[in-house]
Structure formats: structure tokens, C-alpha cells
Structure 1
């Protein structure tokens, strides 16, 4: 990937000139983050079509506004924030629609094809807990950036992480004993 970069003398922070970023380079950056984008959107939206719509809209918005981004290190939290906003926008649109037919038969289902058994339990969590677990452990995003992405305080992120871990532990212990979880 070819990016025009310059380094500030004092802070040694890489600054990327996104105004000269080629389409191919942008596509490469998106490809590097596609799993994270999918995982987060799937944790918020349950319908596969909505997930794809949210990701598509996020990519379009990111590409048209890339010139606003100054630091390459900020790209992932920045695009994840756009994605979260798109997901909630889709949820709001669905709440406004009044459906006369039952579309339950048409909804897509999500199966995690990875060997990760923990993801089975993560998917059982409420959305507020699932999102912070996925962002923190699967996407390696800092608590500070998660608070920005989800528009909640850092204390709330820490609290949700702690509560989510406790719930996961309880679910796994119950499963080992043969109990149903909840």
C-alpha cells in the first residue's frame, strides 16, 4: 500500500495525507478491517441484509470523508464509529416502518463458522455487552476508543466489560454442569 506520509518531529506520530489516497489503497485498508466491520455490525443488527447495508453505507461515508482523518492510527476507531451510527440509523428506520406481513420467515440467520466456541456464548449476550466484548477482545480496540465508538463513558465500557465477562463465565459454567443459561 502506497501512502504519502510525513512524521512530526516532536511527537513521532505518523500523519497520512488521505487527500492523495488512491482507491486501491482505500480498498486495501477496508479489506484489512472487513472482519471487524462485519463482526461489530452483526452484533448490533441481526438481519444479514441490514448488516450488508450498514457496511456498504459505512464504506461510502468513510471514502467520501477520508480527507477529514489526520492519523492513520485513528482509522479503525473512526470507521467503527461510522458503522455504529449506520447500524443505529437502520434500527431507527425499521422502527418507523409498519409491516403488514410477517417477515420472520425471510430473516437471515447468523452462524459463526469459526472454531471459536467462545463466540457462541458471546452471541448469547445482550447487545450492550456483546458490542464491548467484540470491540475489546476480538478487535483489540482500547477502552477509550470503544467509549468514542459507542458514545458511552469509559467507566460504562469498563463496567459492561466486567459484567459481560461475569455473564460469560456463568454461561460457560452452567453449560459444563448441563444447566441452561440465562
Structure 2
């Protein structure tokens, strides 16, 4: 049984050799996942679809330069994440609105009031983090990516991932501790 990486490698090599059906197979395998990843980051379905589509344009234009076809997933996810991050930057410049709309908190009626308030304070604190730290926090805690996987996805060093994660945690601790004294 072939692993997903082997399947991706075969499809990428076939596409590079001129097989247009291989590209269709890659799109079929990955498009929904790209949309899901973009939506997880931007929380806007239409924008997520656009980001996935834009990412495919970049993937198609640059796939010839992909040196390790087995790494297609990480390479392509990095493109999706970069496009989503660009979209978020543009939105924050235009609207200065929070990164997360707190729908998850509002939908969770079973949590008691104290837990909801804590979640709201945590999301608000996360929204105040720099964009690069928000992404790391989300990938690490929400998506359960390892530090190495985050490093590969974002094309940054493992040390940078650890540093951003550390500083984000410290800022969150300070913010949440400070808010507890105010309440």
C-alpha cells in the first residue's frame, strides 16, 4: 500500500512529465483540504475558497521547481498558509477587526459562565498577539502540528517556531493574569 507521500510524489512527477490528469488528481486530493486550512485561518468561507484557488495558481506555476515531490503536502500547505496570512494582513489593515469572531464560544451553551468568560478572555488575548504568533498558537494547539511540522509549513526554523510559541505563551499569561486582577 502506497503512503500519501508516495501517491503525491507519483502524481507530481506525472504532471511534470506532461500528464494533465495527474494535476486533476492532485486537485481532487487536496482542494477541499486547502479550503479547510484556509477557512481555519481566516474564518470566512468565500475568502477561504479564493485563497485555495489562488494557491492552486501558485502551485501550478511553481510545481516545476519542487525538488522533493514527496513533500508536496507541506510545500502546498505553506503556500496556502502564506496566502491566508496575506489575506489576514490585508483585512487587519482595512478593517482593524479581530482575528476570530468567537462563534465557537457563543455556540457552546453547555459550558458554565466562568468557562465561557475564560475562553472569551483567551480569544481576546490571542487576537492581541502579533500575526506570526497567532498562526503558531493556532497550528500548535488547535491543529496539533508538531514544532517541526510548523517549521516546515511556514518555512521558518525550528528555533523561530519555539521562540514565537514561547513569547506568545508569555504574553497570554501576562494578559490573562492582569485581567484576573481587574475582574
* Correspondence list, 1:131-142, <5 A: 131-142=135-146
Match for residue 165 of structure 1 among 166, 169, 176: 169
- Deviation digits for residues 114-133 of structure 1, max 9, x if unmatched? 23834443222111211211
Separation in structure 2 between the aligned mates of residue 166 and residue 154 of structure 1, nearest angstrom = 18
Are 1:57 and 2:46 matched, yes or no?
A: no
Residue number in structure 1 paired with 2:30 = 29
Q: Structure 1: which 5+ runs fail to align?
A: 8-12, 95-102
Match for residue 151 of structure 1 among 149, 152, 155: 155
Residue number in structure 1 paired with 2:74 = 77
Residue number in structure 1 paired with 2:181 = 177
Q: Structure 2: which 5+ runs fail to align?
A: 15-20, 109-118
How far residue 162 of structure 1 moved from its aligned partner, in angstroms, is 0.8
Compared with structure 1, are the counterparts of its residues 177 and 140 closer, same or farther at alpha carbon in structure 2 (3 Å cutoff)?
Answer: same
Match for residue 111 of structure 1 among 89, 101, 124: 101
Separation in structure 1 between the aligned mates of residue 137 and residue 77 of structure 2, nearest angstrom = 14
How far residue 112 of structure 1 moved from its aligned partner, in angstroms, is 3.8
How far residue 176 of structure 1 moved from its aligned partner, in angstroms, is 2.7
* Aligned CA-pair RMSD: 4.1
Kept in 1, the 8 Å contact 2:137–2:168? The answer is yes
Kept in 2, the 8 Å contact 1:38–1:55? The answer is no
TM-score (norm 1): 0.59
Compared with structure 1, are the counterparts of its residues 131 and 88 closer, same or farther at alpha carbon in structure 2 (3 Å cutoff)?
Answer: closer
How far residue 91 of structure 1 moved from its aligned partner, in angstroms, is 8.7
Are 1:122 and 2:126 matched, yes or no?
A: yes
Which structure is higher in helix share? Answer: 2
SS at the partner of 1:58?
Answer: helix
Kept in 2, the 8 Å contact 1:58–1:82? The answer is yes
How far residue 160 of structure 1 moved from its aligned partner, in angstroms, is 0.8
Residue number in structure 1 paired with 2:17 = none
Separation in structure 2 between the aligned mates of residue 24 and residue 161 of structure 1, nearest angstrom = 36
